[in-house]
């Protein structure tokens, strides 16, 4: 798929979805201990960090730590998703959260500009080659010794839960998402210049940590 086809596809996908995507958050509220948003927030120090939230969407990945001394910069392709996050930033009068319409695979930032880079539920949208390009960009803009956090889908839990989740993915997503669930993250991350640190399971998701 060409770059412009992909950008168009993302604009279309989130043109309607942006209106109710925040409702999906209810799925994480049933079990506090297994809430991936909470787990990620627990890894973020409050220490004037420069944090890049790639595939920012409506901000849900970093909202749990907006209220800190950190600077949060979000990038996303979808104007509609960014419009929702802009409203949240204005409503909460955040002076430490900045958003840009930008492609994760071609970001207009300097090398080593961020202390932490995160991407929550964004990589599964990308086919393999595009995802690798985006990860290389994240590696470029992260400082040496900085942390990368990836939060994304994982099949987990009881057989029934896996079955429902698998059906949902098959109905709602293109074929490549089935492959995405089987990726070897340690191998992928090492191939783009990270050291793989850990992967932990949460509600329908896993949180992967790596270091540059
Ligand atoms: C499912 S939403 C996740 C939003 C948010 N990070 C969260 O955790 O709720 C995925 C987002 O990734 C964005 N996205 C997909 N591919 C992208 C790319 N190549 N560059 C920037 N944003 C992208 C989409 O526009 C969408 O807003």
- 8-state DSSP, 5: H
pLDDT digits (tens, 9 = 90+) for 58-68: 999 999 999 99
- Pocket probe for ligand 1: among 23, 28, 55, 136, the residue whose CB has the most ligand atoms within 8 Å is 55
For the segment 123-149, the average pLDDT, to the nearest whole number, is 97
| Residue in 99, 154, 106 with CA at minimum distance from that of residue 130 | 106
**Whether pLDDT at 87 is above 90:** yes
Helix 3-17 × helix 79-91 angle, to 10°: 50
pLDDT at position 62: 97
Residue of 3 and 99 predicted with greater confidence: 99
For residue 53, which atom of ligand 1 is closest to its CA?
A: 6
Q: Could you tell me the CA-to-CA distances from 108 to 34, 101, 105, 117, 163 in Å, in that order?
A: 35, 10, 10, 15, 41
Question: What is the distance in A from the centroid of ligand 1 to the CA of 149?
Answer: 15
pLDDT at position 40: 97
**Whether pLDDT at 161 is above 90:** no
Report the relative pairing of strands 195-202 and 205-211 from DSSP bridges: antiparallel
Question: What is the distance in A from the centroid of ligand 1 to the CA of 144?
Answer: 25
Give the pTM. Answer: 0.95
pLDDT at position 10: 81
Strand partners, 198: 209
pLDDT at position 58: 97
Question: What is the distance in A from the centroid of ligand 1 to the CA of 117?
Answer: 14
**Whether pLDDT at 23 is above 90:** no
The answer to which of 60-69, 89-98, 122-131, 156-165 has the lowest mean pLDDT is: 156-165
Confidence bin at 24 (pLDDT 50/70/90): confident
pLDDT digits (tens, 9 = 90+) for 173-201: 888 999 999 999 999 999 999 999 999 99
**SS3 state of residue 149:** strand
Confidence bin at 13 (pLDDT 50/70/90): confident
Report the mean per-residue pLDDT for the chain. Answer: 93
For residue 24, which atom of ligand 1 is closest to its CA?
A: 9
- Pocket probe for ligand 1: among 7, 9, 20, 57, the residue whose CB has the most ligand atoms within 8 Å is 57
Residue of 173 and 73 predicted with greater confidence: 73
Q: What is the CATH number of domain 3-21+46-211?
A: 3.40.50.150
- HSE-CB of 159 using CA atoms within 13 angstroms: 0
Confidence bin at 112 (pLDDT 50/70/90): very high
């Amino acid at each position: 798929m060409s770059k412009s086809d992909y950008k168009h596809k993302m604009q279309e996908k989130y043109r309607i979805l942006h209106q109710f995507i925040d409702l999906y958050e209810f799925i994480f509220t049933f079990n506090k201990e297994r809430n991936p948003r909470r787990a990620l927030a627990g890894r973020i120090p409050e220490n004037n960090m420069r944090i890049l939230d790639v595939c920012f969407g409506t901000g849900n990945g970093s909202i749990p730590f907006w209220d800190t001394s950190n600077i949060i910069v979000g990038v996303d392709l979808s104007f509609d998703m960014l419009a929702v996050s802009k409203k949240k930033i204005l409503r909460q009068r955040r002076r430490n959260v900045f958003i840009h319409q930008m492609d994760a695979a071609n970001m207009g930032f300097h090398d080593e500009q961020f202390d932490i880079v995160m991407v929550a539920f964004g990589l599964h949208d990308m086919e393999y080659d595009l995802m690798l390009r985006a990860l290389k960009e994240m590696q470029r803009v992260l400082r040496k010794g900085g942390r990368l956090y990836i939060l994304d889908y994982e099949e987990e839990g009881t057989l029934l839960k896996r079955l429902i989740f698998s059906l949902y993915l098959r109905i709602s997503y293109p074929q490549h998402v089935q492959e995405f669930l089987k990726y070897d993250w340690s191998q992928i991350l090492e191939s783009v210049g990270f050291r793989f640190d850990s992967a932990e399971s949460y509600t329908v998701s896993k949180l992967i940590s790596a270091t540059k």
